[in-house]
Chain A
Amino acid sequence: MNDKGAVLTAEDGVKDALIGWLKETLKNGVFDAILIPVETPGGDSFAYLLLQDPAILDSASPLPPVMPVQGGKALGRLTMRGRLNRQIAAVVRPCEARAAIELCKLEQANLENVCLITIDCPGVLPLSEYLDDPETSAVRHAGASSAWDRSPMRPTCQICDHFSIRQAPGSDLHIGTLGCEEGTAIMVAGSAKGERVLERTNPPTLEKEEESYSLNGLLEEWAAQVEEMERAQTKTRQRAHADLREAISGTDRLLDLFKDCINCHNCQRVCPVCYCRQCYFESDALKLPPENYLARANRKGALRFSPDTLLFHIGRASHMATSCVSCGACEDACPMDIPIAQVFSLLADRAQETLGYVAGMSLEDPLPLVTFEMDELHDVEQPYVKIYAKQEVQDA
């Protein structure tokens, strides 16, 4: 985290202040376009819109009550074939920024001309719950957000401990609202790119502090609040994971967990880090002659059909657990309400802890499975030498 920051005066709310600031950046040419959630024409949901007309920003919603598409996935779609030619700002949640960073490391996105702007995130409502009554839900979300009450949010958001830039330092610019008085927010630069943006913007809504003690005071207050909430959230997450681990341990319980799965693979399709063009589990490798299925049915008495439901989920977990950012998109997309994001967050935390890695924290941390350390090589070499080397000499 960088200490350089600015104060965003937000007398009409942080949303209006941010949108005003973004309009200025478009007018001043700091950014050529902005990627930001905008209400859909039906008024019943939100979608990411890449826009260059400042007037469209009036219908933008930096922190909408739902996350219909993961912002990392949207950025991946834009830049999977290479960098943008023009400068854009992407206003996303911390988990979306982390997904974008992870995709970049997986060579599925390019963030060179993208400035990631994140905001302290109170979480989002379950998508299906919101769609049942968008208007009332939006009011409920707004109330809970300003009170930092996560109880109506998605289960994944309730146990999120990466809701701010302190724990997700990869974003270029972050807007801190925690611990800030009504009418102000702080802007913190998370990277040199973010610093340059702050230096180039001097709109009336943004007051660069002359008296540094005042800004520092705000920063300290914000950091303390974030840290406190982080501690509480980490505890909540650990408790939830302990319960969950109990509930899903063993093959029988795992099978029960996926008893309602209909193999639609929506979880895989909306996952920002599940990027394979052809998923193994949808490939010809698993399309077998009828004799194979009949033999399996014969051996087991009955074969669930389509087969390989549990294999799909375990396989997907093993492919992406080190990159999972616990964004919850999979759970939102599941038509059968399987708590898939909660389960994957448990697996991901354990996998990432084992490898000393946290997904999407920075572009610099190497992906654990595409790098190795010398002593890991010895781990593999030693047993081989012990077991086979003598034998090979004798055989020769």
Chain B
Amino acid sequence: MPEGASSSAFTSEGLKINRGAVDTVRELLRTLLESGKVKAVLALGRTGGDEGGVGYSLFRNPAAFEANGAALPLLPFMPANAGALLSRLTLEGPLPEPVAAVVRPCELRASIELAKLSQGYLDNILFISSTCGGVYPLDAGIDGNLEEMLPRYWQAMKQGTLDDKVRPTCRACNNFVPEGADITVALLGEADLDEECTLYVQTERGADFASCLEGATTEVKQENKVLERSMVQRDAFREELFATVEVGLEGLIRTFGRCIGCHGCKTVCPICHCRLCHFDSQDCERPAGFYEGELARKGGLRVPPDTVYFQLGRMAHMAISCVGCGMCTDVCPTDIPLSTIFSKVGASAQAAFDYHPGKDVDEEIPLRTFEEEEFAQVAT
């Protein structure tokens, strides 16, 4: 875990580098791999040769980060939440040697939250994140169509706005400035990001790793009004989006009516880490007589049953830790706005406990701790 992570990108001292942002990140990662400072890099890259296809890879060969290499760090696409991938990587033990991970703020939060849930280790992970302009939906990435979107994405980023084709979850995200990253790359509102790049180095480890970057660097200190403006815009959209959620049991039944029970939302959710989900367990497999009893009681029974029950149960289990990454909506074959619903419920659950999932590794998860006065409330 980064030590002394205190400064945020809102007002921060940064390193200015006279090279475009994407090139700077490529160069940094290539140099880190070449010098052996990191043993591998987790970043997005091409998965299908010339055929397109984008996915995360653990890159070992520095050549991947050369100009036309396979790695595509900073691509606005999230085929998996990297937090879940880092958990898979370190589930059995901490990394023996440093590995850099290029992640979005919500992926960083997922990673930290999973470590708090004992689902991985943060040791030896160098987190490189960025001020986030969101990502395109999964279907934009099918068959390499993402390339066509990139000019408009970077155009919007330079202006400090979001392309309206990025996922609604991202347009409604108010957690787009990473906290706890070792190095943050300034992207949102950087008009000159093709020619120069500002890195906010937030930990000593980050400083050590960034020092191997060549090129004219000057220290800058700036207050970023663009980020504040984006926050206002996203908060407004967030309110609009949350207002679309149908409330009450009737609303939930309508909303989840088209659920096909694939549980893809659960599979891709970084926080839903259970090895065996209750809803896939024998507890939910019942003898025929049980269903006949339900039928007699209700007159009609949806089969398979428990569609809304699954969603409510999953929500109760993970809302407090939901990082709002949007993977659930993205993966849903029936386009249920899961992320909007879960973010809305998550926000109120988190506010009730004054908890910020994935922000700080030392902040206790509310349901895993208690205060003495709570004990007294139960005892009396």
- Where the two chains meet, the residues of A that have a C-beta atom closer than 8 Å to any C-beta of B are 33, 35, 38, 40-42, 44-45, 47-53, 56, 68-69, 73-74, 77-86, 110, 127-128, 131, 252, 255-256, 259-266, 269-270, 277-278, 284, 287-291, 293-294, 297-298, 300-306, 309, 332-337
Contact = CB atoms under 8 A, between A and B. Distances in A.
B209 to A, nearest CB: 18
B299 A52 contact: yes
B183 to A, nearest CB: 21
Contacts, number: 232
Given A266-B262, A297-B60, A74 B303 contact: yes
Interface string B33-54: 0000001101001011101111
B55 interface: yes
B223 interface: no
Contacts of A49: 300-303
Classify the interface of chain B: helix, strand, loop or mixed. Answer: mixed
B58 A303 contact: yes
Nearest to A295: B60
A299 to B, nearest CB: 8
Interface range for B: 35 or more
Contacts of A56: 299-300
Given A53-B300, A81-B287, A128-B333, A42 B57 contact: no
B263 A290 contact: no
A277 B275 CA distance: 12
A110 B142 CA distance: 40
Contact of B60 (A77, A284, A301, A336): A301
Interface string B278-313: 001010011111011001100111111101000000
Contacts of B280: 277
B79 interface: yes
Interface stretch (B6-14, B94-102, B161-169): B94-102
B48 A259 contact: yes
B97 A294 contact: yes
A334 B142 CA distance: 11
Nearest to B291: A78
Contacts of B70: 302
A50 B58 contact: no
19 contacts: A33-B295, A40-B254, A42-B254, A49-B300, A52-B296, A52-B299, A69-B261, A81-B286, A256-B53, A261-B55, A263-B80, A265-B267, A266-B333, A294-B40, A300-B60, A304-B55, A305-B88, A332-B260, A337-B142
B213 interface: no
Contacts of A85: 288-289, 292
Contact of A84 (B39, B40, B48, B288): B288
